[in-house]
Structure 1
Amino acid sequence: MSLRSRVFWRPALPKNAPKWWKEGDWPVLGALRFYSQRADFYREAINHSPSGNFSFYVGKEQLVGLSGPEVRKVFYDSRGLSLNEGFAELATGQPTTDGTTDSFGAFFSKHIIAMLKRENFVRNIDLMAGDTRKACEALAAAPPSKADPSWKVTNPFDSVYQIVYQLTMRTVGANDVADDPKLLRKTLSMFEEFEKRDSTLKVVFPWLPAPNHLLRVYNGARLAMVFQKIIDQRKKTGRKGNDALQYLIDQGAGIRDVIAFQIGALFAGQVNSGINAAWVQVHLVRNPEWLARVRDEVDAAVARHRHEESQAPADVLGTLTVDDWESEFPLIDLCLRESIRMTLPGTAFRKNASGRNIPVGSTGEVIPPGAFAAYWLDEVHMDESLYPDPLRFNPGRYFENPAEDQKTHHVFLGWGSGRHPCLGMKFAKLEMAIITAYFVAMFDVELSDKDGNLSTKAPRPVSRNQKQAEKPKEPIYLRYKPRAQ
Structure 2
Amino acid sequence: MVLRDTLLSWVSADPFVPFKTITTLTVIVVAVLAFTYLILNARDAPSLPRDQLSPPELLGPAGKITHTFFDNQFDFLADGFRTTASAVFRFRLFHNEVMAVSGEEARQTFFREKALNLYQGFQVLIGTIPTGLDPHALSGIYKRLNVLQRPDNLQFLLPRLLLDCHRKMDSWGNEGLLDPTSTVHDVTFQMIVRAVSSFDVADNAALVARLKKFYDIIDASVKPLTTNLAWVPGFATFRKVWASMNVYRIFSKALEERKSSGIKREDALQQLLDSGESSKCIVGFMMGLPIAGARSTGTIGTWLLLFLSHEHEWLAAVRKEIETLISTYTTDPLPTFSPQSIVDVLSRIPLSAWESQTPNLDLCIRETLRRAQPHTAVRKNTGPDIKLGSYTIPSGSFVLYPFADTFFDASVYSEPFRWNPARSLAKEQLFLGWGGGTHMCKGQRLASLTMKLVVAYACLRFKLDLVNHLGQPISEPPVPDMNDFLTCQPKNDCTIKFSERPDWTDSRA
Gaps of 5+ in 1: 145-150
> Is 1:357 aligned with 2:385?
yes
Please list, as runs of the form range in 1=range in 2, the aligned pairs for 1:190-229 lying within 5 A after superposition: 190-201=214-225, 208-229=232-253
C-alpha distance in structure 1 between counterparts of 2:136 and 2:234, whole Å: 26
Could you tell me which amino acid in structure 2 is paired with residue 395 of structure 1? Answer: P
> Once the 2 structures are TM-superposed, how far is the Cα of residue 458 of structure 1 from its aligned partner?
4.0
Look up the SS of the partner of 1:339 in the other structure. Answer: helix
* Cα 1:263/1:89, change in 2 over 3 Å: farther
> Once the 2 structures are TM-superposed, how far is the Cα of residue 331 of structure 1 from its aligned partner?
0.9
Look up the SS of the partner of 2:380 in the other structure. Answer: strand
C-alpha distance in structure 1 between counterparts of 2:53 and 2:271, whole Å: 46
> Once the 2 structures are TM-superposed, how far is the Cα of residue 294 of structure 1 from its aligned partner?
1.1
Find the counterpart in structure 1 of residue 428 from structure 2.
405
The normalised TM-score by structure 2 is 0.84
Q: Is the 8 A contact 1:337 1:395 kept in 2?
A: yes
Look up the SS of the partner of 2:432 in the other structure. Answer: coil
* Cα 1:381/1:4, change in 2 over 3 Å: closer
CA deviation digits over 1:198-250, x for unaligned, max 9? 23239976762221111111111111111111112112222233222233334
Find the counterpart in structure 2 of residue 80 from structure 1.
115
One of 407, 413, 429 as aligned partner of 1:387: 413
* Cα 1:344/1:242, change in 2 over 3 Å: same
Find the counterpart in structure 2 of residue 267 from structure 1.
291
> Once the 2 structures are TM-superposed, how far is the Cα of residue 472 of structure 1 from its aligned partner?
4.1
* Cα 1:121/1:164, change in 2 over 3 Å: same
C-alpha distance in structure 1 between counterparts of 2:239 and 2:278, whole Å: 25
Look up the SS of the partner of 1:104 in the other structure. Answer: helix
One of 322, 326, 338 as aligned partner of 1:298: 322
CA deviation digits over 1:79-113, x for unaligned, max 9? 222222222221243336x5x34343223222222
> Once the 2 structures are TM-superposed, how far is the Cα of residue 371 of structure 1 from its aligned partner?
1.8
Q: Is the 8 A contact 2:58 2:84 kept in 1?
A: no
The normalised TM-score by structure 1 is 0.87
Q: Which moved more, 1:173-182 or 1:417-426?
A: 173-182
* Cα 1:364/1:212, change in 2 over 3 Å: same
C-alpha distance in structure 2 between counterparts of 1:464 and 1:117, whole Å: 34
Could you tell me which amino acid in structure 1 is paired with residue 391 of structure 2? Answer: E
> Once the 2 structures are TM-superposed, how far is the Cα of residue 278 of structure 1 from its aligned partner?
1.4
Find the counterpart in structure 1 of residue 397 from structure 2.
371
> Once the 2 structures are TM-superposed, how far is the Cα of residue 378 of structure 1 from its aligned partner?
1.0
Find the counterpart in structure 1 of residue 20 from structure 2.
none
Gaps of 5+ in 2: 1-31, 505-509
C-alpha distance in structure 2 between counterparts of 1:239 and 1:455, whole Å: 52
Please list, as runs of the form range in 1=range in 2, the aligned pairs for 1:249-264 lying within 5 A after superposition: 249-264=273-288
Q: Is the 8 A contact 1:199 1:210 kept in 2?
A: no
> Once the 2 structures are TM-superposed, how far is the Cα of residue 350 of structure 1 from its aligned partner?
1.1
Could you tell me which amino acid in structure 2 is paired with residue 284 of structure 1? Answer: L
Find the counterpart in structure 2 of residue 343 from structure 1.
372
Q: Is the 8 A contact 1:17 1:55 kept in 2?
A: no
> Is 1:23 aligned with 2:59?
yes
Look up the SS of the partner of 1:402 in the other structure. Answer: coil
Q: Is the 8 A contact 1:448 1:455 kept in 2?
A: yes
CA deviation digits over 1:185-209, x for unaligned, max 9? 2211211121111232399767622
> Once the 2 structures are TM-superposed, how far is the Cα of residue 352 of structure 1 from its aligned partner?
1.8
Q: Is the 8 A contact 1:122 1:322 kept in 2?
A: yes
Could you tell me which amino acid in structure 1 is paired with residue 399 of structure 2? Answer: A
Find the counterpart in structure 1 of residue 146 from structure 2.
113
C-alpha distance in structure 2 between counterparts of 1:249 and 1:9, whole Å: 49
Look up the SS of the partner of 1:57 in the other structure. Answer: strand
CA deviation digits over 1:233-286, x for unaligned, max 9? 112222233222233334444434333322221122011110111111111110
Find the counterpart in structure 1 of residue 448 from structure 2.
429
Aligned-pair RMSD on alpha carbons?
A: 2.6
Q: Is the 8 A contact 2:120 2:379 kept in 1?
A: yes
Find the counterpart in structure 1 of residue 301 from structure 2.
277
C-alpha distance in structure 2 between counterparts of 1:65 and 1:310, whole Å: 55
Find the counterpart in structure 2 of residue 8 from structure 1.
41
Q: Is the 8 A contact 1:345 1:469 kept in 2?
A: no
Q: Which moved more, 1:319-328 or 1:82-91?
A: 82-91
> Once the 2 structures are TM-superposed, how far is the Cα of residue 469 of structure 1 from its aligned partner?
4.2
Q: Is the 8 A contact 2:111 2:437 kept in 1?
A: yes
Find the counterpart in structure 2 of residue 484 from structure 1.
503
C-alpha distance in structure 1 between counterparts of 2:441 and 2:484, whole Å: 21
Q: Which moved more, 1:235-244 or 1:428-437?
A: 235-244
C-alpha distance in structure 1 between counterparts of 2:499 and 2:86, whole Å: 51
> Once the 2 structures are TM-superposed, how far is the Cα of residue 475 of structure 1 from its aligned partner?
6.8
Find the counterpart in structure 1 of residue 182 from structure 2.
158
CA deviation digits over 1:109-146, x for unaligned, max 9? 2222222222221221221222223334444xx2x6xx
Q: Is the 8 A contact 2:181 2:302 kept in 1?
A: yes
CA deviation digits over 1:382-403, x for unaligned, max 9? 1111111112111011xxx231
Find the counterpart in structure 2 of residue 461 from structure 1.
479
C-alpha distance in structure 2 between counterparts of 1:301 and 1:287, whole Å: 22
Q: Is the 8 A contact 1:347 1:374 kept in 2?
A: yes
C-alpha distance in structure 2 between counterparts of 1:425 and 1:238, whole Å: 33
Q: Which moved more, 1:169-178 or 1:43-52?
A: 43-52
* Cα 1:20/1:466, change in 2 over 3 Å: farther
* Cα 1:324/1:466, change in 2 over 3 Å: same
C-alpha distance in structure 2 between counterparts of 1:463 and 1:69, whole Å: 25
> Once the 2 structures are TM-superposed, how far is the Cα of residue 39 of structure 1 from its aligned partner?
2.2
Find the counterpart in structure 2 of residue 307 from structure 1.
331
C-alpha distance in structure 2 between counterparts of 1:8 and 1:327, whole Å: 53
Q: Is the 8 A contact 2:481 2:488 kept in 1?
A: no
* Cα 1:250/1:476, change in 2 over 3 Å: same
